[in-house]
Amino acid sequence: MTSHEEQVEADTTSQQLTTPTKGDENIVHNPPFFAKLNSVWHEVDQLRKDECQELVKVAILDTGIDLKHPDFEKPRAISFQQGKPISAAGEPNQKDRIKGCWDCMSGSSKAETMEDCDGHGTKVASIILRLAPGAELYIARISRGNDQRNLDEGGGQEAEQDIDAIIVPRMVVEAIDWAIDRGVDIINMSFGFPEVVTEIQDALKRAQGKGILIFAAAGNGGMYTMPHWPAGDSTIAIGINSCDVYGRKSTFTPWPIADNPNFMVIGEGIMAHWPTTRPYIGPNSIDGFGPVEGTSFATPVAVAMAAIILEFTRRGSAGVIVVVAKYRGTRNHGMGES
């Protein structure tokens, strides 16, 4: 078994394997912030009192997941070396951490029937699986998405195409209620709407009443647009904007709302799983992984951070000073207010 120190060293070393260059300066396979986040999780995990202690449950409402991706049969990747993902030693396979599936399109709860015709949901789920190793996932498929995504372009880094226009509110409500029934702690919504959708608002309030945290993507319209709903409503959700690996605001992230919490998280050049039916084809391809960008993918980074914090609070007070000291300093490189 690889020690914590060896894993962190591998993370730190791998940061240097891909040097940002003009044209793809944000394609860093393992940004320093992600390595620090992994280190923090190991510190939190060492505080585990009971192996049977309930883990943080995260529901993802999206286009499904490609469970046939071969990397999901392995533990999460902690680094990328020589064009290959390096899996964490001694951790469960990612597929085993997916504890429930619900296909709102067909009404099926069978994991073997779950699919992702778009790829958006697979990428979102893979980011949480990689960055929050103590989280269990519950996948709700609320939309087919765009089943032609990237087919004509032949791949390339995805400048995220919103799935918002092809989401039926009724499916979202059904997925939220399903997540509530599973007792999840966090709901990831990497989509939004131009205005309030009353039936979804009511469902989110039901989730809030159960103590569930809602994270939502702000959208990708740029500085002359306002954040989508529910991201723009801080009484309902924690809205997530995007920055690059250097903490600079992404050009596609919306204009911040005055007198409102505006959180900004890395949302460019993130390495994620691409579905087997449409693999990434480009200069930074790594064995089933490829870069993605958009507030849709900044949102699961924020969710992973929240999952680690929740897990920390469940470990008791032992080691608090050590972990807080490790976590201090991530704000300037990962999550801040825009």
- What rounded mean pLDDT belongs to the chain? 78
Cα separation, 207 vs 179, whole angstroms? 8
Known catalytic membership, residue 120: yes
Using CA atoms of 175, 177, 181, 186 in order, give the dihedral in degrees to the nearest 10: 70
Per-residue confidence at 317, pLDDT binned at 50, 70, 90?
low
User: What pTM was estimated for this model as a whole?
Assistant: 0.81
Known catalytic membership, residue 45: no
> Can you give the pLDDT at residue 283?
76
Q: What is the mean pLDDT of residues 259-284?
A: 86
> Can you give the pLDDT at residue 46?
56
Cα separation, 307 vs 41, whole angstroms? 10
Per-residue confidence at 85, pLDDT binned at 50, 70, 90?
confident
Among candidate residues 143, 296, 333, 338, the one labeled active-site is: 296
Is residue 37 in some structural domain? Answer: no
The winner for highest mean pLDDT among 189-198, 218-227, 246-255 is 189-198
> Can you give the pLDDT at residue 86?
83
> Can you give the pLDDT at residue 36?
62
Cα separation, 146 vs 161, whole angstroms? 9
Per-residue confidence at 226, pLDDT binned at 50, 70, 90?
confident
Is residue 45 in some structural domain? Answer: no
Among candidate residues 120, 228, 273, 333, the one labeled active-site is: 120
Per-residue confidence at 157, pLDDT binned at 50, 70, 90?
very low
Is residue 268 in some structural domain? Answer: yes
CATH no. for residue 92?
3.40.50.200
Range of the domain at 72: 55-337
Known catalytic membership, residue 296: yes
Query: Taking 50 as the threshold, does the pLDDT of residue 231 lie above it?
Result: yes
Is residue 27 in some structural domain? Answer: no
Q: Token pair 């940004």 is at which residue?
A: 31
Per-residue confidence at 95, pLDDT binned at 50, 70, 90?
very high
Among candidate residues 62, 118, 185, 244, the one labeled active-site is: 62
Q: What is the mean pLDDT of residues 230-253?
A: 92
Cα separation, 216 vs 80, whole angstroms? 28
Report the percent of the chain where pLDDT is more than 70: 72
Domain count, the chain: 1
Is residue 216 in some structural domain? Answer: yes
Asked if residue 99 lies in contact with residue 54, where contact means CB atoms within 8 angstroms, the answer is no
300 cis-preceded (ω within 30 degrees of 0): no
Label residue 6 exposed, middle or buried (CB < 10 Å: 0-12, 13-18, 19+): exposed
> Can you give the pLDDT at residue 11?
34
Asked if residue 63 lies in contact with residue 296, where contact means CB atoms within 8 angstroms, the answer is no
Per-residue confidence at 8, pLDDT binned at 50, 70, 90?
very low
Q: What is the mean pLDDT of residues 100-128?
A: 89
Is residue 89 in some structural domain? Answer: yes
Query: Taking 50 as the threshold, does the pLDDT of residue 155 lie above it?
Result: no
Among 25-39, 121-135, 320-334, name the one with the lowest average pLDDT: 320-334
Identify the helix (H) or strand (E) that includes residue 243. Answer: strand 238-243
Is residue 296 in some structural domain? Answer: yes
Structure tokens at 161: 């195409």
Is residue 5 in some structural domain? Answer: no
The residue count for the chain: 338
Per-residue confidence at 40, pLDDT binned at 50, 70, 90?
low
